[in-house]
C-alpha cells in the first residue's frame, strides 16, 4: 500500500471563493494527490498525497498555471495584519456611496448619454481597453484554461455595450469590476482577520538561560528543556512547568477567563498567557505549534475545511449560477433584441456572494469564540449544534468536579478498615482514574503505606486488578467483584449518590469503599438553559451504578443510563442517530473519546493542557465552565441565523437584479454598481458575530 503524507502549501493571490475553487481543482487533478482542501482564510492548501508520485514542485506549477502563487517557505512568515479597522470600513463605505451616487445621478440626468455623444467612440473604446486591461487579461487567461468567472460574463457585457456604441456604460462596468474586486478582497480579508488577530497573540521571542546567562532568542530557537525567564507583565512563551517564582497569570488567551490564576513551583503554565505580577522561571515542555495555543490556532485555521451541508449547497449553487446567468442573458437577447438589457444581465451577476455568504459568517464566529475559550473546529459543527435535539452527558469529570473523596470504608470478613484501604491503594497505585486518585489520597491522609503492586491491569469501565504481596486483589464495581454479603450496606450508600468500589482478595470480598464527587455548581442552571433553548432530551450516561446515577440525575431532573461500558456509550449515541436525532455528547474527552467522536458534535470540557481532549472533540471548551455549553449553543444559532440571512439576502438581491436587468429597467451602469453591494451586505451582517457575549 502506498504511503500517504499530508503537506501544507501556502497559496497567495486568492481573493474570492471562486479562486479557491480553481486552485482546488488544479491541485486535485495532479496524479498522486488523494485529497485537497484549499483554505481561503488561512491562505493555504492542505494536501494528502503520495510523496513518491507528487511533490512540491509539481504542486507549485499547478498553482501557478491556475494563476496564483506559492511563496518560498522563508517568505511564508505571518503576513502583516492588514489595516482593516473600523475607519477603513467606514472610508470604504463612503467612497462606495459617493461612486454610487455619481452613477445614479449621472444616469438620471442623462450625463452619460451626453458624454457618449461628445467623445468619439474610438477614444472611448481605447479608454475602456486601457482601464480594463488587467481584468481583460485575467479573463483571457481563464478562458484559455476553459474557466469562466464572473468577470468573464461582465466582460462580455462590457463588449456588448461597446458594440452598441455605449462606451460610457462599458467604462462604468470596468470601474465596478475593479471596485467589486476590491470589495470582495476586503470581505475575504475581514474573514481572515478573526484568525489573524488570534495569531497575533502568539509570543515571538523568549528570554532563555544559557550557560548561566539570560539571552533573548527568537521563539524558533527555544527547545523543550530550556529554562525560560518570564518577568512581570510579559507573555509566557512556552508550555511548561514553573521551577521557581510566584506569579498571577492571566490565561485569557487560552481559556477566555480574565480572572487570573496563581502559579508557583510545580504549576503548569501555557504559552501566550501573561504573567501579571511576579517573575517565573519555567522549564519549557513544548514550544511553538506543539503548545496548547499553537494547536488552537492550527485548528481554527483549518476550521474552514470542515464545511457543513449549508455551505456545500451554496458552493454547488455558485457553480450553477454563472451558466444560469448566461442562459438568462441569451433569453433576454433572443426575446428583446436589446443589447443593453443583455449587457445589464451579464453585468449584474456576481457568483462570489453566494460562495462568501457562509464562510464569512462561520469564520467570524469561530474566530471570536476562540478568544472566549471556545475552540470550534468547523462550521459543520456549528450547523449541527444549531439543529441538535439530544444532549448526552458523561458523569465523572464532566458533571462532577472529577475529584471524588473517599467517604466510607466498610471492612468485611474480619479485615480492618486500614488494611482494606492500604490494599486498595496499592492495587490502584498505577491507575489514572479519578477514583484511583481518591483511594490513594485517602490512604495517604491516614498515613498508610502504599506498597508496590507486582502486576497491574486496568479494566475500562470496571476497575483494576493487581498482584499485592502474592494475592490477587481486585478493586472495582459489581462487574468486577461480587460481594453479596455487602448488599445492604451498598444499597444505603448508593442511595446517597455515592460510587462504590468493592475490594476482593483472591476472589473473596474484603471490603467496600464509598466515594462522593461534587456536582459542579453551574450544572443545574446550564441544563435548565439547554431545555429553554429547545433541547428535548438531556440524558446522563455513566459507568456507575443505577442508584448512584439515579441520585444525581434526580438532582438535575434528567434521564439517565447506568452501568455503561465505554462501548455502550457509543451504542447509545448511534441509537439516537439512527432514530434521526442530532446528538451532542459532552465529556471530559479522556475516557469517553470514542463517544465524543461518534456524536454529531462532541464537546470536551476543560481541554486546556489535555491534548487527547482537544484532538477527540469537535468543540473544546478551554476551561471547565458549564456556562460555556449553553453559550456555544447560542453562538451556533446566531451564526446559522446570520448565514441564512446572508444567503436569503444574496438570493433575493440577485434575483431582483436579474429580473430588472432582463426587462431593461436597470441600465448596465447601475447593474454594474449593484453587483458589488451584496458582498458589503454580507460583510456588515456577519460582522455582528465578531462580538460574542
Binding site for ligand ADP (CB under 6 A): 394-396, 428, 431, 433, 435-436, 461-464, 475-477, 499, 501, 542-544, 566, 591
| Binding-residue pattern over the window 192 to 231 for Mg ion, x denoting contact by CB under 5 A | ----------------------------------------
Closer to ligand ADP at the Cβ: 219 or 462? 462
664 binds, among ligand ADP, Mg ion, none (CB under 5 to 8 A by kind): none
Q: Catalytic annotation on 394? A: yes
Q: Residue 244: enclosing H or E segment and its boundaries?
A: strand 239-245
Give strand pairing partners of 465: 457, 474
Q: What is the β-pairing status of strands 499-505 and 471-476?
A: antiparallel
CB of 587 to Mg ion, least distance (A): 7
Write the DSSP assignment of 439-482 as a string of letters. Answer: HHHHHHHTT------SEEEEETTTEEEEEETTEEEEEESTTT--
Tell me how far apart the 2 most distant CA atoms of the chain are, in Å: 114
Q: Are 359 and 314 in contact (CB under 8 A)?
A: no
- Residue 606, class by beta-carbon neighbours within 10 Å (0-12 exposed, 13-18 middle, 19+ buried)? buried
273 binds, among ligand ADP, Mg ion, none (CB under 5 to 8 A by kind): none
Closer to Mg ion at the Cβ: 201 or 552? 552
- Cβ atoms within 10 Å, residue 484: 7
Report the alpha-carbon distance of residue 402 to residue 395 in Å, rounded.
9
The set of cell numbers assigned to 308 is 457543513
Report the alpha-carbon distance of residue 619 to residue 290 in Å, rounded.
19
Contact between 591 and Mg ion (CB under 5 A)?
yes
Closer to ligand ADP at the Cβ: 69 or 555? 555
- By beta-carbon distance, which residue lies closest to ligand ADP? 543
Nearest to 253 by CA among 285, 291, 223, 305: 291
CB of 486 to Mg ion, least distance (A): 24
Scanning 259-267, 357-365, 396-404, 598-606 for contacts with Mg ion by CB under 5 A, the matching segment is: 396-404
CB of 475 to ligand ADP, least distance (A): 5
Report the alpha-carbon distance of residue 474 to residue 563 in Å, rounded.
18
Give strand pairing partners of 541: 394, 561
196 binds, among ligand ADP, Mg ion, none (CB under 5 to 8 A by kind): none
With contacts defined by CB under 5 A, how many residues of the chain interact with Mg ion? 2
Q: Are 398 and 628 in contact (CB under 8 A)?
A: no
Closer to ligand ADP at the Cβ: 498 or 618? 498
Closer to ligand ADP at the Cβ: 472 or 659? 472
CB of 563 to ligand ADP, least distance (A): 8
Q: What is the β-pairing status of strands 44-49 and 205-210?
A: unpaired
Residues whose CB falls within 8 Å of the CB of residue 534, separated by 6 or more in sequence, listed in order: 389
345 binds, among Mg ion, ligand ADP, none (CB under 5 to 8 A by kind): none
CB of 479 to ligand ADP, least distance (A): 8
- By beta-carbon distance, which residue lies closest to Mg ion? 396
DSSP three-state, residue 585: strand
Residues whose CB falls within 8 Å of the CB of residue 25, separated by 6 or more in sequence, listed in order: 66
Report the alpha-carbon distance of residue 41 to residue 79 in Å, rounded.
12
CB of 480 to ligand ADP, least distance (A): 8
433 binds, among Mg ion, ligand ADP, none (CB under 5 to 8 A by kind): ligand ADP
CB of 531 to Mg ion, least distance (A): 23
The set of cell numbers assigned to 556 is 438535575
Contact between 255 and Mg ion (CB under 5 A)?
no
Nearest to 514 by CA among 530, 495, 533, 537: 495
The set of cell numbers assigned to 451 is 506498597
Report the alpha-carbon distance of residue 126 to residue 604 in Å, rounded.
63
639 binds, among ligand ADP, Mg ion, none (CB under 5 to 8 A by kind): none
Closer to ligand ADP at the Cβ: 5 or 491? 491
463 binds, among Mg ion, ligand ADP, none (CB under 5 to 8 A by kind): ligand ADP
Closer to Mg ion at the Cβ: 398 or 646? 398
Nearest to 568 by CA among 457, 428, 462: 462
CB of 606 to Mg ion, least distance (A): 12
Among positions 292, 311, 396, 548, the unique one binding Mg ion when judged by CB under 5 A: 396
Closer to Mg ion at the Cβ: 37 or 396? 396
Catalytic position from the list 15, 250, 394, 517: 394
476 binds, among Mg ion, ligand ADP, none (CB under 5 to 8 A by kind): ligand ADP
Residues found near Mg ion in the complex (CB under 5 A): 396, 591
Where in the sequence numbering do the catalytic residues fall? 394
Amino acid at each position: 500500500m502506498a504511503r500517504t503524507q499530508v503537506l501544507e502549501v501556502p497559496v497567495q493571490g486568492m481573493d474570492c471563493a471562486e479562486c479557491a475553487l480553481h486552485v482546488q481543482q488544479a491541485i486535485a487533478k495532479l496524479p498522486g494527490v488523494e485529497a485537497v482542501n484549499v483554505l481561503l482564510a488561512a491562505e493555504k492548501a492542505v494536501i494528502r498525497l503520495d510523496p513518491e508520485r507528487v511533490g512540491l514542485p509539481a504542486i507549485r506549477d499547478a498553482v501557478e498555471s491556475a494563476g496564483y502563487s506559492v511563496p518560498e517557505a522563508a517568505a511564508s512568515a505571518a503576513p502583516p495584519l492588514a489595516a482593516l479597522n473600523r475607519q477603513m470600513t467606514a472610508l470604504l463605505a463612503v467612497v462606495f456611496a459617493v461612486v454610487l451616487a455619481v452613477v445614479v445621478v449621472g444616469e438620471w440626468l442623462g450625463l452619460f448619454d451626453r458624454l457618449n455623444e461628445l467623445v468619439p467612440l474610438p477614444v472611448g473604446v481605447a479608454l475602456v481597453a486601457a482601464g480594463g486591461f488587467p481584468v481583460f487579461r485575467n479573463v483571457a487567461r481563464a478562458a484559455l484554461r476553459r474557466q469562466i468567472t464572473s468577470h468573464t460574463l461582465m466582460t462580455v457585457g462590457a463588449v456588448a455595450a461597446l458594440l452598441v456604441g455605449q462606451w460610457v456604460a462599458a467604462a462604468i462596468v470596468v470601474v465596478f469590476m475593479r471596485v467589486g474586486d476590491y470589495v470582495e478582497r476586503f470581505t475575504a480579508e475581514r474573514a481572515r482577520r478573526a484568525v489573524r488577530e488570534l495569531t497575533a497573540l502568539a509570543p515571538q521571542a523568549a528570554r532563555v538561560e544559557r550557560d548561566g546567562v539570560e539571552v533573548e532568542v527568537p521563539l524558533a530557537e527555544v527547545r523543550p528543556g530550556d529554562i525560560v525567564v518570564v518577568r512581570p507583565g510579559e507573555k509566557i512563551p512556552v508550555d511548561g512547568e514553573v521551577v521557581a517564582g510566584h506569579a498571577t497569570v492571566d490565561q485569557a488567551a487560552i481559556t477566555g477567563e480574565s480572572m487570573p490564576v496563581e502559579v508557583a513551583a510545580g504549576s503548569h503554565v501555557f504559552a501566550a498567557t501573561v504573567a501579571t505580577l511576579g517573575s517565573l522561571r519555567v522549564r519549557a515542555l513544548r514550544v511553538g505549534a506543539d503548545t496548547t495555543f499553537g494547536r488552537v490556532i492550527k485548528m481554527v485555521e483549518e476550521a474552514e475545511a470542515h464545511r457543513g451541508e449549508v455551505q456545500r449547497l451554496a458552493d454547488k449553487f455558485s457553480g450553477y449560477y454563472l451558466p444560469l446567468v448566461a442562459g438568462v442573458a441569451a433569453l433576454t437577447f433572443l426575446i428583446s433584441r436589446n443589447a443593453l438589457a443583455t449587457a445589464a444581465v451579464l453585468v449584474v451577476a456576481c457568483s462570489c456572494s453566494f460562495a462568501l455568504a457562509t464562510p464569512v459568517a462561520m469564520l467570524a464566529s469561530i474566530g471570536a469564540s476562540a478568544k472566549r475559550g471556545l475552540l470550534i473546529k468547523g462550521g459543520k459543527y456549528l450547523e449541527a449544534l444549531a439543529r441538535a435535539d439530544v444532549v448526552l452527558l458523561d458523569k465523572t469529570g464532566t458533571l462532577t468536579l472529577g475529584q471524588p473523596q473517599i467517604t466510607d470504608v466498610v471492612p468485611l470478613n474480619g479485615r480492618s478498615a486500614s488494611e482494606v484501604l492500604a490494599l486498595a491503594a496499592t492495587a490502584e497505585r498505577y491507575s489514572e482514574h479519578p477514583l484511583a486518585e481518591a483511594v490513594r489520597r485517602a490512604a495517604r491522609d491516614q498515613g498508610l503505606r502504599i506498597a508496590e503492586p507486582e502486576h497491574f491491569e486496568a479494566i475500562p469501565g470496571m476497575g483494576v486488578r493487581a498482584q499485592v504481596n502474592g494475592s490477587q486483589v481486585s478493586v472495582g464495581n459489581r462487574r468486577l467483584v461480587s460481594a453479596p454479603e455487602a448488599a445492604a450496606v451498598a444499597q444505603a450508600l448508593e442511595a446517597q449518590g455515592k460510587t462504590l468500589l468493592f475490594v476482593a482478595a483472591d476472589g473473596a470480598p474484603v471490603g467496600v469503599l464509598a466515594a462522593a464527587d461534587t456536582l459542579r455548581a453551574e450544572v443545574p442552571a446550564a441544563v435548565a438553559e439547554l431545555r429553554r433553548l429547545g433541547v428535548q432530551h438531556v440524558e446522563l450516561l455513566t459507568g456507575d451504578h443505577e442508584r448512584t446515577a439515579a441520585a444525581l440525575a434526580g438532582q438535575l431532573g434528567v434521564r439517565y443510563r447506568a452501568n455503561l461500558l465505554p462501548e455502550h456509550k457509543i451504542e447509545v449515541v448511534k441509537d439516537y442517530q439512527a432514530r434521526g436525532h442530532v446528538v451532542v455528547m459532552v465529556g471530559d474527552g479522556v475516557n469517553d473519546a470514542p463517544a465524543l467522536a461518534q456524536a454529531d458534535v462532541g464537546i470536551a470540557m476543560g481541554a486546556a493542557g489535555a491534548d487527547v481532549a482537544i484532538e477527540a472533540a469537535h468543540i473544546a471548551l478551554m476551561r471547565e465552565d458549564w456556562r460555556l455549553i449553553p453559550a456555544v449553543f447560542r453562538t451556533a444559532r446566531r451564526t446559522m441565523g446570520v448565514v441564512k440571512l446572508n444567503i436569503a439576502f444574496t438570493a433575493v438581491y440577485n434575483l431582483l437584479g436579474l429580473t430588472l436587468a432582463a426587462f431593461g429597467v436597470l441600465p448596465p451602469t447601475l447593474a454594474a454598481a449593484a453587483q458589488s453591494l451584496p458582498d458589503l451586505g454580507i460583510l456588515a451582517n456577519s460582522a455582528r458575530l465578531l462580538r460574542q457575549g
